[in-house]
Amino acid sequence: AQSVTQPDIHITVSEGASLELRCNYSYGATPYLFWYVQSPGQGLQLLLKYFSGDTLVQGIKGFEAEFKRSQSSFNLRKPSVHWSDAAEYFCAVGARNTGGFKTIFGAGTRLFVKA
């Protein structure tokens, strides 16, 4: 069965510093991979997605993620964090099965940004 692991419950970085959020997945075939962001009191916004092609994916708000099949990872990165990036980040895997297409979410990583 497909699953997603985000090892870090929360991370604190200084404004202007670089960021990397970790994500590992388990899936038998080539997965659809996503990163979503959830600001307090808001729904989820898609940052970026990967299915095939270039393993380095560019997203919105200056985020990027790299798919590494050998490590079953899809880590999210940003070179310089802004205070407005403080939010909850969810990695997700999409999979097709007999029930249709489902999106399975990791536990999330809460990002704190300090001045």
Partner 1 sequence: SAVISQKPSRDICQRGTSLTIQCQVDSQVTMMFWYRQQPGQSLTLIATANQGSEATYESGFVIDKFPISRPNLTFSTLTVSNMSPEDSSIYLCSAKGGTGDTEAFFGQGTRLTVV
Hunting for tokens 């699953």 — which residue is that?
3
Contacts to partner 1 from residues 1-30, by CB under 8 A: none
Residue 44 binds partner 1 (CB under 8 A): yes
Nearer residue to partner 1 within complex by CB, 28 or 100: 100
Q: How many residues line the site for partner 1 (CB under 8 A)? A: 23
Out of 79, 107, 112, 114, the only residue in the binding site for partner 1 (CB under 8 A) is 107
Of 12-20, 40-48, 57-65, 70-78, the window that binds partner 1 (rule: CB under 8 A) is: 40-48
Q: Does 69 bind partner 1 (CB under 8 A)?
A: no
